[in-house]
Amino acid sequence: MAGLALEGPNPDVDVLDGINGLAKDAPHWVNRAMEYIGEYGIIAGLAVLCLIAWWGARRRSDAPAAIAGLVWAPLAAGIALLANIPIRAFVERPRPFKDHAGLEVLIPGKSDYSFVSDHATLTMAVGVGLFVASRKYGLAGIALALAEGFCRVYMGVHYPTDVVGGFALGTAVALLLAPVAQALLVPLMTAVGRSPVGWIAWFVQAPGAVPSAPAGSTSTGTGGHGGLGAEDERMIAGGSAAPSRRRDRDKDLAA
């Protein structure tokens, strides 16, 4: 296929020319910064964001479920990138700089097809995956994905519709497969959290985090006080017996 070519006025090309035109007028150092940000920086920023979200999720009472959601974010990105392989092969859209002279191409030499953008697909899948697990971090991740899409057009390596297609693909994979992923990952993370191997348990749930009680469980101890130790049981028993002992002593004094 020729790949999404349109006759006459083409808004896709007009937006490309407008955004890429900013690179033509920008200082060299700005374009170098955009090159590194658009190629590596935003992806690295999303990785750091996932680590920050994981650090907080470890301390939640539902740590295994929260960690499962965070694990799904990069997995969704990987699945979306695999799904993009046949899409690119089917559409076969050339990079914009091959069909449109005069673009300011910040990263020359890319020879693969343009639709859809791998970077846009990956970043949006991670952002939406984070949003499923945590609204706060998810919004930050989606904002980074939008910035990535702008960078790809600014750099002259993608059409705007390449980016929009990547956003759609990443979002679809992260949302549609999330229920299946959670159903598989939550039991796995729960099992890892209960593992006797210390460092793995620490990885899933922070020391001191309050674990979720199993469904239908009302007590973990043998004395019926829900997780209290033997010393706590004796203190409760002694406290409840104290009033009766005081009443017996008062009766003896009255006699």
Q: Is 103 helix (H, G, I), strand (E, B) or coil?
A: coil
Answer for the pair 149, 163: CB distance below 8 angstroms, yes or no. Answer: yes
pTM as predicted: 0.74
* CATH number, domain 11-190, options 3.40.50, 3.30.70, 1.10.3470, 1.20.144: 1.20.144
Cα dihedral sign, 153-159-160-164: negative
**Measured in whole angstroms, how far is the alpha carbon of residue 185 from the centre of its chain?**
14
Task: Note down pLDDT in tens along the chain; length 255 residues.
Answer: 444 444 556 888 999 999 998 998 899 999 999 999 999 999 999 999 999 998 887 777 777 788 888 899 999 999 999 999 999 999 989 999 888 888 888 888 788 899 999 999 999 999 999 998 889 999 999 999 999 999 999 999 999 999 999 999 999 999 999 999 999 988 888 777 676 654 554 555 555 554 444 444 443 444 444 444 444 444 444 544 445 555 555 555 444
Across the chain, which distance is largest between two alpha carbons, in Å?
112
* Residue corresponding to tokens 């991740």: 141
Residue spans per domain, the chain: 11-190, 213-255
- Omega into 116 within 30° of 0, i.e. cis? yes
Looking at residue 224, what DSSP letter applies?
S
137 and 53 Cβ atoms separated by less than 8 Å: yes
DSSP annotation of 108? T
